[in-house]
Amino acid sequence: MDRVALRGLRARGHHGVFPGEREEGQTFVVDVELGLDTRAAAAGDDLAETVHYGVVAEEVTAVLEGEPVDLIETLAQRIADACLAHRAVREVEVVVHKPEAPITVPFDDVTITIKRSRA
């Protein structure tokens, strides 16, 4: 399985369980790693035989900026679903970073990592 990775996609979203998170919003950062077979695309030099990572980046950003959810677990699943909607993508790993999480102690980041594949 070949890999196409997008790292550090950023967008402002209004996700979280606290009212302030929903009202003010915060920056979320996402990494996605797509698993696919790129041999046909390479052999024919054909974008239609692979995944257009620019489109994936736009779709991930749209999920981040879209309908608010309480949990970053839900957000990660929605991103995975969007990635797996692309015909060439067989599996995906999604990491959602929430560096502005409402935590009362010093921290660098909060993340969730999920792996999903086609059934």
Catalytically annotated residues? 98
- What DSSP character marks residue 78? H
- Give me the half-sphere count of Cα atoms (radius 13 Å) on the Cβ side of residue 3: 9
Using CA atoms, how far apart are residues 99 and 10, in angstroms rounded to an integer? 11
Tokens of 58: 């736009």
How far from 41 is each of 44, 54, 83, CA to CA, in Å? 5, 16, 18
